Structure 1
Amino acid sequence: MTEQVIGSNSEVVFHFSIKLSDGSAADSSKVHNKPAKLVMGDGSLTENFEKCLFGLKAGDNKSFQLAPEDAFGQPNPDNIYYLDRSKFGVDVPPKVGTIVAFTQQDGTELPGLIRDVAGDSVTVDFNHPLAGQELTFDVEIIEVTN
């Protein structure tokens, strides 16, 4: 039986770690020992991130750096909103640095980071927290199915 290598429609189970440019850990699937699973080309990863995985097989370990555009993108100013303090309940007062989940019209939740509180105006950033960062990804491929 030949080993399955990652191709354009492969289903991949893998562990990953994300490190910031200063070497500190931002995220890791190993913390809770829950590997990630995706189908290549399903839009979960950017095109350049996927290219880094092509040709790998179960048991492979690889480390690669991604520019912000290839990871979580650059921060988008359209994702920063100014909300009235009255939108926040007394149980969750707006505090700089707090991440608050906002329920959208379709019922899904969208996390926002409170960047500033000035009087009755609260600045909420809905960009991904890792947007604008150059990141190092370490991957350990567990399983590949074609």
Structure 2
Amino acid sequence: MQQVQNGDKIKVHYHGKLRSGETFDSSDGREPLEFTVGSGQVIKGFDEGVKGMKVGDKKTVEIQVTDAYGEKQQEMMIEFPKDQFPADMNPEVGMQLMMSNGSGQQFPVTVAEVKEESVVLDANHPLAGQDLVFDLELVSIEPTSRIIMP
């Protein structure tokens, strides 16, 4: 029976949890996640975790922070003056906002701290600094065509 390897397009159901057991994402009730193994479409630990699986296999993979979203980076904490917020906005810790950089690209930030004159925004990925645990079930493998030359 075929095993997952780099270049295969696969479909996998997953249940992602933090070490505390708290669920942060799941394909439950949705279509399985589809991606090409080794293409960088998913975090490194997830990519490595599916290799060698066969259709129907179920397993749990524990992904260290370095193979997930990395450590929180202090330079991704942005102190922003309160007077730059819309007048009708009252920022609160945990609030999710969208911010744009000088090039017009938008990215999500989370309010980390509210000070007297400023607000500290966290632009790190929400799962940065976390070890992750995934329960996986391989649904299908679509192998890449491998041409054998004489």
Q: Same fold (TM over 0.5)?
A: yes
The aligned residue for residue 101 of structure 1 is 98
Residue 105 of structure 1: how far off its partner (Å): 4.7
Q: Identify the match of residue 17 of structure 1 among 2, 15, 18.
A: 15
2:60 aligned with 1:63: yes
Encode CA deviations 1:52-100: one digit per residue, 9 max, x unaligned: 2111122111101111111111111111111111232234321111011
1:49 to 16, 21, 46: 46
Return the alpha-carbon distance in structure 1 between the equivalents of residues 4 and 89 of structure 2.
Answer: 45
Q: Which runs of 5+ in 2 are unaligned?
A: 144-150
Distance of 1:62 and 1:104 partners within structure 2: 40
User: CA-atom RMSD, angstroms?
Assistant: 1.8
Q: Determine if contact 1:4/1:145 at 8 Å carries over to the other structure.
A: no
The percentage of aligned residue pairs carrying the same residue is: 29
CA 1:37/1:108 → structure 2, altered by over 3 Å: closer, same or farther? Answer: farther
In the TM superposition, residue 112 of structure 1 has moved relative to its aligned partner by 0.5
Which shifted more, 69-78 or 96-105? 96-105
Bigger CA radius of gyration: 2
Alignment map for 1:69-108 (pairs within 5 Å): 69-108=66-105
1: CA distance, partners of 2:79 / 2:101: 16
Q: TM-score, normalised by structure 1?
A: 0.87
1:107/1:60 Cα in 2 relative to 1: closer, same or farther (>3 Å)? farther
Indicate yes or no: 2:118 matched with 1:117: no
* Structure 1 runs not aligned, ≥5 long: none
Change (3 A) 1:38 1:89: same
Tell me if structure 1 keeps the 8 A contact 2:45–2:64. no
Q: Which residue of 1 aligns with 2:133?
A: 136
- The alignment's TM-score, normalised by the length of structure 2, stands at 0.85
Deviation at 1:126, TM superposition (A): 0.8
